[in-house]
């Protein structure tokens, strides 16, 4: 157990040598299957779609603090590593068949573990957003020693099979702005400019090394990490079709966002360059499309799809998410609401990824908001097969968020019932006129109109000629 814990801790503090996958930030989007581009709202819109900062909304000012973590396991890398450790620590020497089986599971193509997380503080004042966010992307891929495979090599720990741990911790400080085009009602454009500081690291985790090596892996990651800075540019657009065309049902919206368009690059650590990697770690651009409809004031439907095929820290494993979700607002009032969310999410870049089920809820009371969501895959993977078999879900995610929001308009909430006003009786001269008087007045008007028409059509009289 200590070995596995040390390995997971190493992954959490590592840095990838490849690009980042899209982070599903915030429990609202996570609960709705990762859909957030078209429904972006509040301070966190700086991330999901800066164009949405320009929309009138029920939270024009405030702060949101999201936290999220996501883990995905591909192949049998954990199973192979755990089985190999059990063979080393076993009471009897391992057999060649047991050794071959453990190494084969460790060496399965596409195997790897990736963990990503995010935390930050997002502020909004009118159409302006200020954000400070941190993103962690880490992964581990296996390298198998096929030379030192004798039982004595396994027991002595001289087999060099390892997990290459790599990851990046990227901090962003920036500002975002969104605005509705004056000549195109319902069409919003926005962008974000940010300073990015990255800490990139690379380290080898030898599966069969002694405890002292495992305990030093955190120090190795910290000491060997390379820090560098750059800047990033994000752009977003949002079309609120209902504002462009009157009478459009369901309040449809379309959104498009592109992150890190300038492809910012950061320095790789010396250990990564020595292993044959490039001296630069690139954060590749990401493009995501979203759509939403609102059949009722209390019901929202949304869907997102990655237009780019995003790389991950695991070799030969990519990410291209598509997701769909629904949100039901139980009370939907300005001072209290309980949103309930469900959704589905799938990585279309991996045929064996399975479907991820998501769900979440929140409580909005006065200006304070608390939200939480979780996601779990319908597929399970084996983490240990020698002895008692153990399985865990292939993919897990968790998100929570605290917020304080106020100001703005309530256009997205169901309008309250109109207040009944009691009026006094009208004065006597404005009382309803009897039906008989109305009929007589109508007949008189008709006769006057007919007489006027006869005068106009009658020939005019000629004046008499003067006599001589």
For the stretch 366-402, pLDDT in tens is 999 999 999 999 999 888 766 677 889 999 999 999 9
Query: How far is Cα 227 from Cα 142, in angstroms, rounded to an integer?
Result: 25
Choosing among 2.40.160, 1.10.150, 1.20.1300, 3.40.50, the CATH entry for 2-406 is 2.40.160
> Is the pLDDT score of 462 beyond 70?
no
The model carries a pTM of 0.81
> 317 pLDDT band (50/70/90 cuts)?
confident
Is 110 in contact with 152 (CB distance < 8 Å)? Answer: no
- Give the model's confidence band at 107: pLDDT under 50 very low, under 70 low, under 90 confident, else very high: confident
Mean pLDDT of 119-126: 95
Mean pLDDT, rounded, of the chain: 84
14 has a pLDDT exceeding 60: no
Q: What is the pLDDT at residue 18? A: 45
pLDDT of residue 211: 54
Of 13 and 297, the one with more pLDDT: 297
pLDDT at 214: 54
Residue 425's pLDDT band, with cuts at 50, 70 and 90, is: very low
Confidence at residue 10, expressed as pLDDT on a 0 to 100 scale: 43
- Averaged over 202-217, what is the pLDDT? 72
- Angle (CA) 68 316 145, round 5°: 105
SS3 65: strand
* CB-based burial label for 275 (10 Å; 0-12, 13-18, 19+): middle
> Which pLDDT does position 277 carry in this prediction?
86
pLDDT of 388 reads 72
Q: What is the pLDDT of residue 453?
A: 67
Please tell me the predicted confidence (pLDDT) of residue 36. 96
The pLDDT of 3-15, averaged and rounded, is 42
Residue 121 confidence (pLDDT): 96
**Above 70 in pLDDT, residue 333?**
yes
Contact 23, 64 (CB under 8 A): no
Among candidate residues 72, 56, 59, the one with its CA nearest the CA of residue 23:
72
């Amino acid at each position: 157990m200590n070995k596995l814990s040390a390995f997971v801790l190493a992954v959490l503090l590592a840095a990838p040598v490849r690009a980042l996958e899209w982070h599903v930030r915030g429990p609202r989007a996570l609960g709705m299957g990762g859909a957030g581009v078209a429904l972006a709202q509040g301070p966190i819109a700086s991330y999901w779609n800066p164009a949405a900062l320009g929309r009138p909304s029920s939270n024009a000012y405030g702060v949101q603090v999201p936290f999220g973590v996501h883990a995905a396991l591909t192949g049998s890398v954990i199973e192979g590593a755990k089985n190999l450790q059990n063979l080393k620590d076993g009471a009897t020497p391992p057999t060649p068949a047991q050794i071959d089986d453990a190494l084969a599971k460790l060496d399965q193509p596409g195997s790897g573990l990736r963990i990503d997380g995010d935390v930050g503080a997002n502020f909004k004042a009118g159409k302006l957003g200020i954000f400070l966010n941190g993103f962690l992307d880490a992964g581990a891929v296996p390298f198998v020693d096929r030379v030192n495979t004798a039982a004595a090599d396994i027991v002595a720990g001289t087999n060099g099979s390892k997990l290459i741990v790599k990851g990046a911790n990227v901090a962003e400080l920036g500002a975002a702005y969104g605005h509705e085009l004056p000549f195109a009602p319902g069409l919003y454009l926005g962008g974000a400019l940010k300073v990015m500081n990255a800490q990139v690291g690379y380290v080898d985790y030898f599966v069969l090394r002694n405890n002292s090596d495992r305990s030093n892996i955190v120090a190795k990651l910290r000491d060997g990490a390379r820090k560098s800075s750059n800047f990033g540019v994000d752009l977003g657009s949002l079309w609120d079709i209902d504002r462009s065309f009157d009478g459009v049902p369901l309040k449809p919206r379309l959104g498009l966002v592109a992150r890190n368009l300038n492809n910012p690059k950061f320095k790789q650590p010396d250990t990564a360059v020595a292993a044959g990697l490039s001296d630069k770690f690139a954060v590749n651009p990401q493009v995501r499309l979203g759509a939403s409809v609102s059949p009722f004031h209390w019901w929202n439907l949304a869907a997102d799809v990655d237009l780019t095929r995003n790389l991950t820290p695991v070799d030969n494993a990519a990410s291209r998410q598509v997701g769909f979700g629904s949100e039901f607002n139980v009370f939907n009032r300005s001072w209290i609401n309980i949103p309930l969310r469900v959704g589905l999410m799938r990585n279309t870049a991996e045929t064996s990824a399975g479907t991820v089920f998501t769900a979440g809820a929140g409580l909005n009371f006065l200006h304070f908001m608390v939200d939480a969501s979780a996601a779990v895959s319908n597929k399970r993977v084996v983490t240990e097969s020698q002895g008692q078999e153990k399985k865990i879900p292939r993919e897990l995610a968790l998100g929570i968020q605290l917020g304080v929001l106020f100001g703005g308009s309530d256009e997205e909430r169901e309008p309250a019932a109109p207040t009944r006003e009691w009026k006094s009786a009208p004065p006597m001269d404005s009382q309803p006129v009897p039906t008989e008087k109305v009929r007589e007045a109508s007949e008189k008007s008709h006769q006057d109109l007919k007489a006027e028409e006869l005068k106009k059509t009658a020939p005019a009289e000629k004046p008499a000629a003067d006599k001589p």
